[in-house]
Amino acid sequence: MKCDLRFDPERYSVEQAERDGTKLTYRAFENIPYAGRPVSPAFQSLSIYAPEEYYTGKNHGRYSLHTAPIFMPNTVGGYMPSNIERPGVNFKGETNAAFAALKRGYVVVSPSTRGRGLKNDDGLNIGVAPAGIVDLKAAVCYLRHNRELIPGDTEHIITNGTSAGGAMSALLGATGNSSDYEPYLREIGAACDRDDVFASSCYCPITNLDHADMAYEWEFSGRNEYHCVKPEFEVYPEKYKNRKDLSLDFVEDGPPKLIQVDGRMSDFQIELSGKEKALFIPYLNSLDLEDRAGRALKLNADGTGSFRDFVGHYLLKSMDRALEDGTDLSKYSWIRRKDGRAVDFDFDSYIDYRSRMKITPAFDNVLESPTAENEVFGTGKDNFCHFTQFSYENSRNGWTMADPDVIHIMNPMNYIGAADVNTAKYFRIRHGAADRDTSLAVSAMLTVRLRNCGTEVDYHLPWGLPHSGDYDLDELFAWTERILG
C-alpha cells in the first residue's frame, strides 16, 4: 500500500462536542495516513481537529487558523497499539485533553500508533520497539511536510501522554531530528521533514527502561511483600486451561478480570533485588547530575545522598501543596508539620506507605511471565526479549537479548544534550507521589538531565495520586499558555 502524503484541506466534516456545558464546533480531518508505506494502516493514521471559527475568519483570543498551537496527545498505554481519540471523553469517561485543548483554541492532532502484540498475516510482530515512537515522529514529519496546508502552527507542537504514552511524549521531546530514527522513518515512507517539537507533557513516564529495574529496587529493596492487581488467568491458570489466545489485553470475551494479589517475593527474587539496588548507585553517579545551584546529585552505597534528598525535596513540596489545598495528612505520623506546613518526613516510612507493586526485576522479568516491556522489546519472530544485561545473565526463561541499538533509541536519556539533536525547550513532568509502577527516580533523572542541558522543566509529584494522567487539565493548559509567551 502506498499513501499520498499531501494533506487535502477539502476532506473534512464539521462536528460538535459538548462537555460540562461547553459546546464546541470543530472541523475534523480524520483518519489520514501519515506514512507513505504503512505497515499497519489502521494504526498509522492521524486526525486533525480545528476550531470551526477559524474558517469564518475569526480568532480565538490571540490564536488564528495558522498561529494556533498544535496539541498532540497520544493514547499509548502499556506499550500497546494506540487509537485516535476525538475531542470528548477519554477511556475513563472524563473530559479528555483533546476537548480541553480545542476549547482553548488549539488545533488538536490525534495519532494512532503501532504497539506490542500487533502481528501481520504471517504471524510476525510488527509493533515492537521502536515502532511506536517512529510512528509518532512520522506524524510530526507529516504535519511539517504540510505546514502550509494544515491548520495550526507547526513550530508550536506540544505533545502529551501518560505512562507508556508519557514515555513516548518524553522521547518526542528529547530526540528531535536525531538521525538514529531515520532508517525506520524511511522504511515506512515518512515525509522527509523535521520531527522536533516545542514542548512535551509527560505524566508518570514509564521510561529509561534499561535502568528502571535498578531504580525500582533503589526505592523498594528490603520491602519483600508486594501488592498488585493481576489478570485472573495468570493467578488461576487451571480455570482457563481450555482457553486460547489469553493475553494481558484480552481473553476470549473481553478484557481480563483483574484481582488483587498480595504476596512475598521468593528468596531468588530478594537476592536479585539487593543486586539491582547496588547497580543503581554507580549508574546514577555516572550521570553527573547537578541541581539548579550546580551542586552534584549523587548517591552513597546505601542509597542515601544528595540525589535522594533532591527527590525528598519534591516530595516535601508535594506534601506542602497538599496541606495548602486542605488535604488532611495527620494520619501520616512520619510527616513532620509546623505552623500548617510540611517541614520534614521520613523517607523509609514514605516508601513503606507507597509499598511495592512489582516483583524483582520489575520490568525485565527473568521468570516465565513476560512484562509489557519484554514484549515491546521482542523482535519480528521473538515474542519476548530481555533488555538489560542483568536480567539476561540471570534469566530462567531463555529469552534472547534485544538489539542494543533498539534499546538505545527507546531511552530519551541518551539524547538529551546530544550534538545532532533538538530537544524541546519545555517539558512538564508529573509523577504521582503514590505511583508504584515505576520509581520516582525515573522522572527525577529525566527532569535533572533536561534541566542540566538547558530545557525548562516544570516538575511536580502530586500528593496521593497513583499511576495516572490528565487529572489537572486546567493546570496543564495554564503551563502551555505560559510557555507560549
Chain positions contacting ligand DHB, by CB under 6 A: 77-79, 163-164, 206, 372, 437
Phi, psi of 454 (to 5 degrees): 95, 5
Using the minimum distance from each CB to ligand DHB, give the nearer residue, 77 or 303: 77
**Closest residue by Cα to residue 284 from 306, 313, 269:** 306
Using the minimum distance from each CB to ligand DHB, give the nearer residue, 141 or 206: 206
> CB 164 → ligand DHB: shortest distance, Å?
4
The answer to whether 54 and 60 are in contact (CB under 8 A) is yes
Phi, psi of 143 (to 5 degrees): -60, -45
Q: Report the first-to-last Cα separation within the chain, whole angstroms.
A: 43
Using the minimum distance from each CB to ligand DHB, give the nearer residue, 365 or 452: 365
**DSSP one-letter string for 256-293:** PPEEEEEEE--HHHHHHHHHHHHHHHHHHHHT-EE-TT
Using the minimum distance from each CB to ligand DHB, give the nearer residue, 143 or 167: 167
Using the minimum distance from each CB to ligand DHB, give the nearer residue, 77 or 117: 77
The answer to whether 157 and 146 are in contact (CB under 8 A) is no
> CB 356 → ligand DHB: shortest distance, Å?
13
> CB 421 → ligand DHB: shortest distance, Å?
25
Using the minimum distance from each CB to ligand DHB, give the nearer residue, 79 or 459: 79
Question: Rounded to whole angstroms, how far apart are CA atoms 309 and 298?
Answer: 9
Beta strands in 258-405 (DSSP E): 258-264, 289-290, 296-297, 335-338, 341-345
Q: Which residue is nearest to ligand DHB (CB)?
A: 163
| Grid cell locating 11 | 476532506
Question: Rounded to whole angstroms, how far apart are CA atoms 233 and 196?
Answer: 42
What sign does the dihedral 383-389-392-395 (CA atoms) show? Answer: negative
Using the minimum distance from each CB to ligand DHB, give the nearer residue, 77 or 412: 77
| Grid cell locating 207 | 521510561
The answer to whether 467 and 437 are in contact (CB under 8 A) is yes
> CB 433 → ligand DHB: shortest distance, Å?
16
CB-CB neighbours of 108 under 10 Å? 28
> CB 169 → ligand DHB: shortest distance, Å?
12
Q: Residues 457, 458, 463, CA angle at the centre, nearest 5°?
A: 135
Bridge partners (DSSP) of residue 28 are 13, 49
CB-side exposure of 201: number of CA atoms within 13 Å?
26
Using the minimum distance from each CB to ligand DHB, give the nearer residue, 439 or 455: 439
> CB 357 → ligand DHB: shortest distance, Å?
8
Bridge partners (DSSP) of residue 262 are 227
> CB 444 → ligand DHB: shortest distance, Å?
18
Burial bucket for residue 209 (CB in 10 Å: 0-12, 13-18, 19+): buried
Using the minimum distance from each CB to ligand DHB, give the nearer residue, 33 or 78: 78
> CB 385 → ligand DHB: shortest distance, Å?
15
Using the minimum distance from each CB to ligand DHB, give the nearer residue, 189 or 205: 205
> CB 173 → ligand DHB: shortest distance, Å?
17
> CB 95 → ligand DHB: shortest distance, Å?
20
